[in-house]
Amino acid sequence: MADNRPTATLHLQDLCQNLPDRPGWSLTFGATCAEAAAVCLDGQGHTERVALQIDGIRSCAIELQWDAIDDTVRRFNADEEVATEYGAYGIAALIMPRLTNLTIIERSVKGKGLGFDFWLGSIEDTAPLFQRKARLEVSGIRTGSEPLIQSRVNMKLKQISPSDTIAPGYIAVIEFGTPRAQVVEKCRT
């Protein structure tokens, strides 16, 4: 039987701190993502601390912590689709360095037919900064079953296919109900 005790603790507020493991991450956007993730988790009945089960490239559990949210934060995140997307971005930004030693270094440009959200680069080798070692596509689900999560992973794997020759890719699907994350790697072709 797998040990599901958290191996680390991550705080959503770290998304709005100037940390060296996210050189391409805006602190303002980080604050927005942290609040959105907190609203999504709170909306599923989790209160300020929860074990996030991670499966895929590495199975483990990480404890997520966040500050209490107020009515203003809830109202700002009233659009569930946007809040779920931004909350998923935030959680992916927190866990990817732990799972892969890769971190967000740049936002991908929409409209180029690449099909992914962020460029990832190495935490250890920061020169040159924009090394674009891998692609990251993130998706969020408020609450969903394992088949729904796997279906979303498959959809996202197909979505990033046009850019498979550029670099390896990662898909991170964050489900807030359990909560859990499915992180898979797609090799460069």
Residues 41-93 pLDDT 10s: 999 999 999 999 999 999 999 999 999 999 999 999 999 999 999 999 999 99
Show the tokens assigned to 58.
Answer: 């590495």
Whether the per-residue pLDDT at 132 is higher than 90: the answer is: no
- The whole-angstrom separation of Cα 68 and Cα 116 is 31
Whether the per-residue pLDDT at 3 is higher than 60: the answer is: no
Q: Which residues contact 174 (CB under 8 A, 6 or more apart)?
A: 87, 88, 91, 92, 138, 139, 140, 141, 180, 181
Q: pTM for this one?
A: 0.92
Domain range summary for the chain, segments of one domain joined by +: 9-186
